[in-house]
Amino acid sequence: MRGKEPVQESLYTVGNLRDFVAARMPADHPLHRIKAEADKVLASLDRDFDTLYSDRGRSSIPPERLLRACLWQALFSVRSERLLEDTLRFDLRCRWFVGLPLNEDAWDHSVFSKARDAFLLQTVAQLFFERHLEFLRAEGLVSSEHLSVDGTLLAAWASPKSLVRRDELDKDGKPPKPPEGGRNGWVDFKGKKRSNETHVSASDPDARLASKGNGTKLSHEMSVLAENRNNFAVGFTVMPPTGTSEREAARALVAEQRDRGYKPTTVGGDKKYSDGDSLTEYLANECVEPHFAVRDDRPNALARVFHNEPGYEISQRCRMRIEEIMSFVKTVCGLAKLKVRGVLRVFGAVAVAMGAYNLRRHAGF
């Protein structure tokens, strides 16, 4: 029999978000496990969050909700915070995940910018990432012995037209005023040599000109340290790209693991980490085997000494899985083209993306 479309909807509907969302989702839906794990980690950070806020003044938006909203944005490729505001307002699943009741309106998108400017969002995201790693280690899911490292470029939110000469900066390091009509007018760079030594971006001074075979562009460099057992990210850093920055980042990431009391025994990497021999020497002195590939034109590279070790081939196979992390961060989380400026804000965006990746990996999808 044909159903009739009601002319007037019910005046009252009784229920909560669990009735509308959680109870209606399939029991094996990965969001159940992702939310449960995120809630458990955030609950353990309650005292840490207390130290970030003053005892006086009006109440802020709970940091737990802010971080869950950022995790949702990373997991579901929400391309902007204005769109995230609309998603919070109209998507019941998003409300349930974030913990925003039906009787509350979504907060303004500028809240994220203000939290980022106060370095609150970066701190909360990093605390979440580190505490979740502790939980993963407690479950025996993370290896402390066998690691892989890699780096990639993230395109800065700055145009090549924003480049100005360093000798044109004033005594406070500020660029000159843009020409009439702004810096977005037609600019002819033909025949003009630009480099990081002579030019700096007026939009994002922390960005640097860099290339990995697909054209030179203003970029930030993200380096990631992953463990080989289940390919969880265990460390990351963001710095301006230079000729040696990837090796410097790898050294800092391994040193951080040792400072935390872990004792890595092998670190796998591609050919760029065997250049210069300095990183290889450092790792060998720290009793860590550097399992780095070597370019054919470097027959005497120090890293070749370790190619006959029994674990070298395993490390080289496992380190290729780190590309899963890179592709998730750049494609799903949308960081291939950044939407924030400054190395600290980029670090916060990467911290959220790494937390989202580990949650997704933990849920098994």
pLDDT exceeds cutoff 70 at 186: no
- Taking the domains of the chain in order of start, what are their residue ranges? 17-118, 143-156+218-340
Distance CA 241, CA 218 (A): 9
The mean of the pLDDT values for the chain is: 90
pLDDT, position 184: 64
pLDDT, position 1: 75
Quick one: average pLDDT of 106-118? Answer: 91
pLDDT exceeds cutoff 90 at 77: yes
* Residue partners of 45: CB distance under 8 A and separation at least 6: 124, 127, 128, 131
pLDDT, position 10: 75
Fill in the amino acid letter for 60: S
User: Tokens at residue 276, please?
Assistant: 């210069």
pLDDT, position 173: 74
- What residues does 290 pair with on adjacent strands? 267
pLDDT exceeds cutoff 90 at 320: yes
CB 50 within 8 A of CB 61: no
pLDDT exceeds cutoff 70 at 183: no
Higher pLDDT, 247 or 57: 247
Residue 268 dihedral angles phi and psi, to the nearest 5°? -95, 150
CB 245 within 8 A of CB 221: yes
Distance CA 227, CA 234 (A): 7
Distance CA 163, CA 113 (A): 25
Among the listed residues 280, 262, 5, the one whose alpha carbon sits nearest the alpha carbon of residue 145: 262
pLDDT class of 187 with cuts at 50, 70, 90: low
CATH of the structural domain 143-156+218-340, one choice from 3.30.750.24, 3.90.850.10, 3.40.50.720, 3.30.420.10: 3.30.420.10
Distance CA 111, CA 69 (A): 11
Most confident of 165-169, 181-185, 288-292: 288-292
User: In angstroms, how far is the first alpha carbon of the chain from the final one?
Assistant: 41
Distance CA 212, CA 241 (A): 11
Quick one: average pLDDT of 163-180? Answer: 78
Quick one: average pLDDT of 31-58? Answer: 91
pLDDT, position 160: 85
pLDDT exceeds cutoff 70 at 182: no
Of all residues in the chain, the percent with pLDDT exceeding 90 is 67
pLDDT, position 53: 86
- What residues does 152 pair with on adjacent strands? 222
Higher pLDDT, 4 or 158: 158
3 state SS for 259-326? HCCCCCCEEEECHHHHCCCHHHHHHHHCCCEEEECCCCCCCCCHHHHHCCCCCHHHHHHHHCCHHHHH
Quick one: average pLDDT of 128-149? Answer: 95
Least confident of 7-11, 128-132, 282-286: 7-11
**Which tens digit of pLDDT belongs to each residue from 321-348?**
999 999 999 999 999 999 999 999 999 9
**Which tens digit of pLDDT belongs to each residue from 24-44?**
889 889 999 999 999 999 999
Quick one: average pLDDT of 188-205? Answer: 83
pLDDT exceeds cutoff 80 at 177: no
Burial of 200 (0-12, 13-18, 19+ CB in 10 A): buried
pLDDT, position 181: 66
pLDDT exceeds cutoff 90 at 151: yes
